[in-house]
Amino acid sequence: MKRTIFQHITLFITVAAVFFVSGNIHSQVSGVNSYVFQNFTLSDFGDGIDASKSIVWKPRFSEFVAQVQKEGENQENVQASNDSDTVVVLGQNPDPERSNIRYTEAKPEGVTEVVAGTPQKYVLGVKAQFSQQGYNWIELTPNKINQDANTQAQPNNAEEGAAPPDINMEATPFRIPFVGKAVDLTMWVWGGQYAWWVEVYLRDYLNYQYRFSLGDLLFTGWKQKRTQIPDSVVQSRKKLPASPTLGFEMIKLWSFPSETTDQFYAYFDLLQYSSIVSTDIFDGKELAEDIW
């Protein structure tokens, strides 16, 4: 009886060992798949993370943004604001005194002094004024600074006290790439009880655009706004190399049609996302990179 039990135990250990060895062999051949949940920063708006990516933000305003009338302008193109005696000209450059962006020294209390090893000192502010009510909009896009075309090098904002980039620097629109599979996106937004709402625009490698609302600005002070990124958003491809990724395209603000056209202000800080990152290990992984 004891011998029979011993034989069964021996058989069980032998079978388990076979499965263990075969599993290890399979892992060495097919690879080991593991996933890590991580947080990443797309932009810190004028601080060290933007500097490391050579990013400067640029604005674009919709048609009825307030503009300066130049001497000798065709009066047929001139309209007066409903809220003031401001005279604007349609189809020209916005008046920078009333519609512009700037980096401002400020920080939400919910943001730590240092993020990813870089001091947090600046936020991105935008102001605008329009000549007509309606669905007026403002686009804020990340741009890659053209180092060759600018006489001054991009400042290293990783150092405390460094100045933010000049918004007038020559730069090219740039989609900030995501890492892994993004599951949600957050951004700190300052509201001043304005009847506007905020959207973020993403674009995949197939050139499909996705837009997500972060809500309105009918509140006072800083709030961290959040949106989920659903599985329907294409973020990568199964075939290797899987270098094409999802990209962050822009922030877009829209006014409610009932909103007045007088001066509008908003501020933004720390655009981040949570992502599931694959750490696959397999023989020949170096060839899965985009080396061509």
Residue 284 lies in a domain: no
Residue 125 lies in a domain: yes
Residue 50 lies in a domain: yes
Q: What pLDDT does 157 receive? A: 53
Q: What pLDDT does 6 receive? A: 52
Tell me: pLDDT of 88 over 70.
Answer: no
Tell me the pairing of strands 114-115 and 35-43.
unpaired
The CB-side HSE value for 35 (13 A sphere, CA atoms) comes to 8
Task: Provide the greatest CA pair distance for the chain.
Answer: 112
Between 137 and 283, name the one with better pLDDT.
Answer: 137
Residue 249 lies in a domain: yes
> Residue 90: which pLDDT band, with cuts at 50, 70 and 90?
very low
Structural domain that includes position 170: 36-62+92-108+117-148+155-279
> Residue 163: which pLDDT band, with cuts at 50, 70 and 90?
confident
Residue 16 lies in a domain: no
> Among 5-19, 119-133, 138-152, 170-184, where is mean pLDDT lowest?
5-19
Residue 141 lies in a domain: yes
Q: What is the mean pLDDT of the chain?
A: 81
Between 94 and 124, name the one with better pLDDT.
Answer: 124
Q: What's the domain count of the chain?
A: 1
Tell me: pLDDT of 155 over 90.
Answer: no
> Residue 146: which pLDDT band, with cuts at 50, 70 and 90?
confident
Between 3 and 257, name the one with better pLDDT.
Answer: 257
Between 175 and 70, name the one with better pLDDT.
Answer: 175
Please name the amino acid found at residue 237: R
**Closest alpha carbon to 148 in 165, 169, 164, 168:** 169
Q: What pLDDT does 217 receive? A: 98
Distance CA 57, CA 90 (A): 24
Taking only the tens place, the pLDDT of each residue in 187-206 is 999 999 999 999 999 999 88
Residue 245 lies in a domain: yes
Residue 290 lies in a domain: no
Cβ atoms of 192 and 217 closer than 8 Å = yes
- The mean pLDDT of 106-120, rounded to a whole number, is 92
Tell me: pLDDT of 266 over 80.
Answer: yes
Tell me: pLDDT of 151 over 50.
Answer: yes
Distance CA 200, CA 196 (A): 14
Between 28 and 115, name the one with better pLDDT.
Answer: 115
Q: What pLDDT does 185 receive? A: 98
Taking only the tens place, the pLDDT of each residue in 8-49 is 555 455 544 444 444 443 434 345 567 788 999 999 999 999
> Among 30-39, 98-107, 173-182, where is mean pLDDT lowest?
30-39
Domain harbouring 233, CATH code = 2.60.120.260
Q: What pLDDT does 75 receive? A: 40
Measured in degrees and rounded to the nearest 5, phi and psi for residue 75 equal -65, -15
Q: What pLDDT does 242 receive? A: 65
Cβ atoms of 147 and 154 closer than 8 Å = yes
Q: What pLDDT does 125 receive? A: 97
